[in-house]
Amino acid sequence: MALALIVEDDHINAFITQKFIGDHFESDIAPDGHTALQKVTQKNYDIILMDINLGNEELDGVEVLKQIRAMSGLESIPSIAVTAYALSNDRERFLDQGFNQYLSKPINKDELLREMHALIKAN
């Protein structure tokens, strides 16, 4: 079973996401960017679901992804921005910043699973 890292500072959103994907993916939760950076060095994740606003202006989801992608062997790990940012240009902005896909909250379970499976298959 593929392994996902859910980077989400809201414990309810993290719990819901974990329940959504639980029949298809094993998963770990990182409640902040520092924990996410630590976890990716300890396990081989197949995909990352990344909240953007992690409660730390200096280490938001975009910065965490940049640091992960700079790590040897993790340059191409699939990552989905899962965020409340939902303005018309946000999708393009996050894709331009290195995310493979973008989903706005509240997330749709079927859409999330479809995108996760597609990214893992393509990788």
In the structure, what pLDDT confidence band is assigned to residue 90 with cuts at 50, 70 and 90? very high
- Token pair 């990214």: residue: 119
Q: Which of 55, 50, 59 is nearest to 29 (CA)?
A: 50
* Residues whose CB is less than 8 angstroms from the CB of residue 14 and which lie 6 or more positions away in sequence, other chains included: 6, 8, 29, 31
Q: Alpha carbon of 104 to those of 5, 68, 86: distances in Å? A: 18, 22, 6
Mind listing the pLDDT tens digit for each residue in 6-31? 999 999 999 999 999 999 999 999 99
Give the Cα separation of 24 and 92 in Å (integer): 28
Query: What are the tokens at 79?
Result: 């990552």
Output the pTM of the full model.
0.96
* Residues whose CB is less than 8 angstroms from the CB of residue 100 and which lie 6 or more positions away in sequence, other chains included: 78, 79, 80, 119
In the structure, what pLDDT confidence band is assigned to residue 34 with cuts at 50, 70 and 90? very high
